[in-house]
């Protein structure tokens, strides 16, 4: 997933993700703060920036794994939608996902794959996502329209248990005057159980209440404790075009460690820095992760999340159930 761009940080090892360039997102972008399943959307939006072209049939499959395909669905003209649906695949044995990548039709922004267990009813047909769709889910992978996704370290995997039901949240923006026929594909690279050393989960610290007045410089701070004891191999800072500086701090035992501290440019929205730690961070629930984002809104309109974003995404282990965890300074910890 990540390609080196030669950019260094004096604090930690920083790489840059090789990303597909974004298409310009239309004015019809709506504020997703209205929906209580924001944590999952925040994660997906953080890691993705779409602009796919229509697929001429399925893309090439993974080298060692499975290819999933959603049912066909339609994106209404002039709409931005989050479509949820079940993926028609029966999980007959535990699966260990080491990497994932997604592919979408033109207008796609991201696909997030997740699973549910038990007998709780979920709606299976393609439909606009509701709070019920994103409750008590487990994260598997997320990717852009053009085959970008997540790759974990050797020996690390996200587990899909036998009998789980697979679902996707599919984000599309159709700025045209006609409906779009769509189908998403997800490639999963799998590890055999004997090669799995660590089960991973995901944690996002995100400013869901982000509010940037027009023609104003603003600083936003997210300060959360960690939801559990964790080992963290890397972190991804994220802002969009109007970010000017990003600082990430770990506060532990009264001491502050600067993990990342750098000016921000619009190019980093798509080619975001990946902060790799020489030694994995070991954090406790009493430790704090502090994300500090400086913005310069030079436009004539007020900006809300997700037009701009202030967020830090990380993968952690151990996580026996592949949890997707999130925190907002005002809302506290939550699990989408």
In three state form, how does the secondary structure of 140-173 look?
Answer: EEEECCEEEEEECCCCEEEEECCCCEEEEEEEEE
In this prediction, residue 322 carries a pLDDT of 64
How crowded is residue 231: how many other Cβ atoms within 10 Å of its Cβ?
A: 17
Instruction: Using a pLDDT cut of 70, give the percent of the chain over it.
Output: 79
Question: Given this chain, do its domains 2-20+202-323 and 32-199 carry the same CATH topology?
Answer: yes
Helices (H), the chain: 38-46
What pLDDT does 333 receive? Answer: 72
Q: How confident is the model at residue 335 (pLDDT cuts 50, 70, 90)?
A: low
pLDDT above 90: percentage of residues in the chain:
48
Distance CA 220, CA 329 (A): 10
pLDDT at 301 > cutoff 70:
yes
Give the per-residue pLDDT at 19.
35
Tens of pLDDT, residue by residue over 72-117, are: 999 999 998 889 999 999 999 999 999 999 999 888 878 889 898 8
What is the tens place of the pLDDT at every residue in 27-37?
Answer: 333 333 344 34
115 touches 138 (CB < 8 A):
yes
Q: Which of 234, 240, 165 is nearest to 200 (CA)?
A: 234
The full set of domain ranges for the chain reads: 2-20+202-323, 32-199
> Which one is predicted more confidently, 110 or 232?
232
d(CA 283, CA 208): 24
How much is the pLDDT for 33? 38
What CATH number was assigned to the domain covering residues 32-199? 2.60.120.230
Using pLDDT thresholds of 50, 70 and 90, give the confidence band for residue 236: confident
Sheet holding 79-86, edge to edge: 127-128, 79-86, 165-174, 108-116, 138-143
User: Considering the domain 2-20+202-323, what is its CATH architecture?
Assistant: Sandwich (2.60)
The structure's pTM equals 0.71
Kind and range of the H or E element at 44? helix 38-46
List, for residues 270-299, the tens digit of each pLDDT value: 567 889 899 999 999 999 999 999 999 999
| DSSP secondary structure, 3-38, as one string | E--S---SSSEEEEE--PPPPPPPTT---GGGSTTH
Closest alpha carbon to 195 in 161, 162, 232, 152: 152
CA 65, 53, 38, 332 torsion-angle sign: positive
* 266 has a pLDDT exceeding 80: yes
Cα–Cα distance for residue pair 107/46, rounded to 1 Å: 17
Strand partners, 324: 202
Three-point CA angle 200, 203, 207, nearest 5°: 170
Helices then strands, counting H and E runs in the chain, come out as 1, 27
Say how far apart CA 26 and CA 79 lie, in whole Å: 10
pLDDT: is 101 or 132 the higher one?
A: 101
Mean pLDDT (whole number) for 4-13: 40
* CA dist., res. 268 & res. 14, Å (int): 12
């Amino acid at each position: 997933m990540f390609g080196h761009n030669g950019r260094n940080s004096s604090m930690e090892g920083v790489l840059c993700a090789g990303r597909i360039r974004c298409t310009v997102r239309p004015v019809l972008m709506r504020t997703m703060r209205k929906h209580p399943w924001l944590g999952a959307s925040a994660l997906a939006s953080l890691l993705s920036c779409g602009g796919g072209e229509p697929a001429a049939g399925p893309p090439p499959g993974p080298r060692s794994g499975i290819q999933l395909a959603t049912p066909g669905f339609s994106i209404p003209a002039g709409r931005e939608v989050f479509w949820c649906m079940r993926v028609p695949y029966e999980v007959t044995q535990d699966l260990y996902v080491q990497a994932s990548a997604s592919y979408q039709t033109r207008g796609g922004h991201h696909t997030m794959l997740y699973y549910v267990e038990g007998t709780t009813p979920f709606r299976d047909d393609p439909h606009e996502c509701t709070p019920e769709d994103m409750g008590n889910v487990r994260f598997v992978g997320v990717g852009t329209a053009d085959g970008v996704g997540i790759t974990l370290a050797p020996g690390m995997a996200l587990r899909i248990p036998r009998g789980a039901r697979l679902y996707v949240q599919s984000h599309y923006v159709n700025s045209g005057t006609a409906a779009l026929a769509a189908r998403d594909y997800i490639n999963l690279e799998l590890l055999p159980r004997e090669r799995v050393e660590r089960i991973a989960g995901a944690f996002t610290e995100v400013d869901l209440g982000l509010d940037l007045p027009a023609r104003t410089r603003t600083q936003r701070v997210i300060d959360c404790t960690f939801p559990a004891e964790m080992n963290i191999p890397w972190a991804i800072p994220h802002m969009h075009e109007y970010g000017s500086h990003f600082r990430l701090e770990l506060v532990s035992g009264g001491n502050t460690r600067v993990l990342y501290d750098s000016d921000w440019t619009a190019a980093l929205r798509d080619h975001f820095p990946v902060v790799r730690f020489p030694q994995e961070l070991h954090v406790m629930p009493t430790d704090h992760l502090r994300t500090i984002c400086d913005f310069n809104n030079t436009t004539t309109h007020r900006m809300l999340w997700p037009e701009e974003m202030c967020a830090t995404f990380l993968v952690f282990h151990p996580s026996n159930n592949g949890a997707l965890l999130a925190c907002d300074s005002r809302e506290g910890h939550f699990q989408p």
